[in-house]
Amino acid sequence: MSSLAKQKPKPETKRGGFFSELFQFGLYKPNQGRIVRQVSFFTIALLGLLTAWEIKRSSLVSGLGQGGWLVMIAIAVVLIWLALRVVNYSVFADFLIAVEAEMNKVSWPTRTELWNASQVVMFVIFAMAAFLFLFDAIWTFIFEAIGIRYSDGNSLWAWFSGLFS
């Protein structure tokens, strides 16, 4: 029998589900993927705060008077806690750690490269807009000339043809 067959399989690390990790207080790999996890937390927390605000403004809670504020604060606290636990959920945290690792590999352009690329994009957009305007104007003129399209006299070609008549 080979030595590989004699070895016992290693027990896999058991990860709890989301609900079991929801009530933990520790941070999962706190020093890895810190920036991406912080940005994700603040984004999810902001969405939670906006959700709590909209629930407070809704007709369900607006009839509670001052109690609506307490409901809003309670919902906000729960959603912020949920945001903290989501970014520390092992599967999602590993994904965010991998995202930050990949972002560190990106070759970011310099300011001049970015400006030059932006100028090229703006030139192409304006050139395409001018080309499409001319294309549309020529076909409009052709269709009005052969009687397929009729204008009410306010078109560009009606004004242009009025200059030469």
pLDDT per residue as tens digits for the range 91-115: 888 899 999 999 989 998 999 999 9
- The answer to whether residues 100 and 133 belong to one domain is no
The whole-number pLDDT of residue 11 equals 46
User: Considering its fold, how many domains does the chain have in total?
Assistant: 2
In a domain, 42, yes or no: yes
Domain of 146, in residue numbers: 111-163
- The answer to whether residues 121 and 158 belong to one domain is yes
User: Tokens for 5?
Assistant: 């067959």
pTM for the whole structure: 0.55
Residue 37, judged by CB atoms within 10 A of its CB (0-12, 13-18, 19+), counts as buried
- The answer to whether residues 27 and 99 belong to one domain is yes
In a domain, 5, yes or no: no
Distance CA 87, CA 29 (A): 11
Return the DSSP state at 65.
T
Determine phi and psi for 67, rounding to 5 degrees: -65, -20
The whole-number pLDDT of residue 12 equals 46
Q: Averaged over 137-161, what is the pLDDT?
A: 75
Q: What are the angstrom distances between the C-alpha of 128 and each of 115, 116, 121, 131, 135?
A: 20, 18, 11, 5, 10
- The answer to whether residues 90 and 35 belong to one domain is yes
